[in-house]
Structure 1
Amino acid sequence: RSELASCCDAVHNFIASQNNSPLGSNMSYEVDSKKTILITEDIFKMLPVSSPLSVYPFKNCAVVGNGGILKNSSCGAEIDSSDFVFRCNLPPTTGNISKDVGNKTNLVTVNPSIIAQNTKYVNAYTTPFDFNEDEFCFSITSFSSLMLETVNAFEEETGSTLVPFSRTEFVSSLKRHILTLFLVISNSLFAYWLILLYGFWPFSKSTEKIPISHHYYDNQLPKPGFHAMPKEYNQILQLHGKGILKLQFGKCESD
């Protein structure tokens, strides 16, 4: 934790805020760091005054991936009992699936490509995802205009807080482009005593050799080459083995 804290300061830099992104300053893009975007008054008003993580430390947090391993896991109650819950890419959490994945969410990230694929994004997702009391975080790439339009649409439609950027300095300080979930895990290492990982399973079969879908809500596979999943998962396993975090491999104990 001290090694990560000395290089990255994720608690304050993971999410852009008015405190770390002053009016009139320039912010670099995550993927193309040579390009910048000016923090105008309109953008500045979209940012929270400070990071929602700055009220740390909490006793524990759950980092919830979207892996098919969560299907029939009965992990929902355990996830919802965590002090803080991270999710990625606006997964469905309502209905029958909530018994496996829970529905509590404190912060959820959004990949801009999801929005680019569906221009009716708000209407498509307000039903399956509970937006109440959630905070959203975009990691800005080449979808600037679309993302800024979506910020306004989301907040008008749902009343939730949506943050259009993550701080590039935090991402670049990790030395490489990595999976969104691993970014969230790295971030949570600074703020929480116990980190619990759910739904992070990059294989097509469970530990019992039962075939599982890629996501718990669909079986759409990622494009090859962008995420180095096996390498990253090996790093997660090492952290699990050292007791730095707890990785859920299968069913949770139910009351």
Structure 2
Amino acid sequence: MKPLSTQAIEDARRKILKYLNTSTTFRIFRRDIDPENYKFGTNLSTIMEHNQTEVLPSPVGHRCAVVGNSGILLSSLCGREIDDHDFVFRLNLAPVDGEFSRDVGSKVDLITLNRMELLALETLSKDLNTTVQGWMYINRLNGTVTDSSIVWYPLGFPEKLSQIAVSFRDTLQLQPAWAYTPESLMYLASKVWNMPVPSTGLSVMTAALLHCDEVTMYGFFPFPEDSRGRTLRYHYYEPDTGPLKGNHSFGLHNMPKEFSLLQKLAEDGALRLVTERCYDKIFDVT
């Protein structure tokens, strides 16, 4: 793996700072604020007037991991290496408990909530523990989101977040910190990388490069087979339904193009991109 380059990291950060800044990328509600009283703002002056949120420290850690959800993670044995980072970003409420932890780790410092999950949780919030779908979410969240985690909605103005935070507290007895980005991070990342509809993963990587000294990417591989010819699931936590169809360039996100960007950033030394197994010797594998 090519070593990181201080110059490449600074070049990437300067590019990002044309559109993002550390004052508005993450607005984290203070834990003494009741979720029922959350006030959201679309600009920094309104946010400061509300006086309810704080920013994520920058740098949040020397070494950060951004963990995607590709099936490339299965049998990777990367869990301990991921957890060894100072700060771990995860995506879209992906589970980390039980059978997955050896491959994906269990540390969850910050995890995103996407629009689909926001709407689903809003619908389920009144009867989260009385429906089959609600129980599925409960099982998925248990062991993933903890009181020490930050749950982040990065796609703009999310008034529904207040209702969901109340449901987490009252139904699941979970009180993570809640965060949002006043302007959609996906929109801002599209301008940074000239990518029309960037994925959550690319958007989170953009924020991580701004808030971390070093960034390593795991679980970003959008193809149906790995270098050893293994058939891969689309998401590591979904049932095995056979090989993927197409090359993912015809949906909402152009995943192969994003992967090429990650490869270029890794080649330049702006970040590390892990797509192979991690070292077996750090595990007690028999």
Shorter chain as normaliser: what TM range? 0.7 to 0.9
- Percent identity, aligned pairs only? 25
Structure 2 counterpart of 1:129, which letter?
A: T
Shift in alpha-carbon separation, 1:131–1:59, aligned structure 2, 3 A: same
Tell me if 1:154 matches 2:129. no
Partner residue, 1:247:
273
Structure 2 counterpart of 1:64, which letter?
A: V
SS of 2:275 mapped into structure 1: coil
The normalised TM-score by structure 1 is: 0.79
Shift in alpha-carbon separation, 1:217–1:57, aligned structure 2, 3 A: closer
Alpha-carbon shift at residue 148 of structure 1 (Å): 2.9
Shift in alpha-carbon separation, 1:198–1:10, aligned structure 2, 3 A: farther
SS of 2:257 mapped into structure 1: helix
Tell me if 1:114 matches 2:104. no
Cα RMSD after superposing both structures: 3.2
Partner residue, 1:51:
55
C-alpha contact 2:169 2:175 (8 A) present in aligned 1: yes
Structure 2 counterpart of 1:154, which letter?
A: F
C-alpha contact 2:58 2:212 (8 A) present in aligned 1: no
Structure 1 counterpart of 2:276, which letter?
A: G
Q: Provide, for residues 142-193 of structure 1, a one-character-per-residue CA deviation record: whole Å limited to 9, x for no partner.
A: 9x55433112212442021122x21317554442441111111111112222
CA distance in 1, matches of 2:261, 2:249: 21
Alpha-carbon shift at residue 10 of structure 1 (Å): 3.9
- The equivalent position to 2:73 in structure 1, one of 70, 73, 93, is 70
Unaligned runs of 5+ in 2: 1-11, 31-37, 129-133
CA distance in 1, matches of 2:94, 2:111: 9
Structure 2 counterpart of 1:160, which letter?
A: P
Aligned residues: 236
Unaligned runs of 5+ in 1: 29-37
The normalised TM-score by structure 2 is: 0.72
**Larger C-alpha radius of gyration, 1 or 2?**
2
Shift in alpha-carbon separation, 1:81–1:26, aligned structure 2, 3 A: closer
Partner residue, 1:167:
182
SS of 2:228 mapped into structure 1: coil
CA distance in 2, matches of 1:26, 1:162: 14
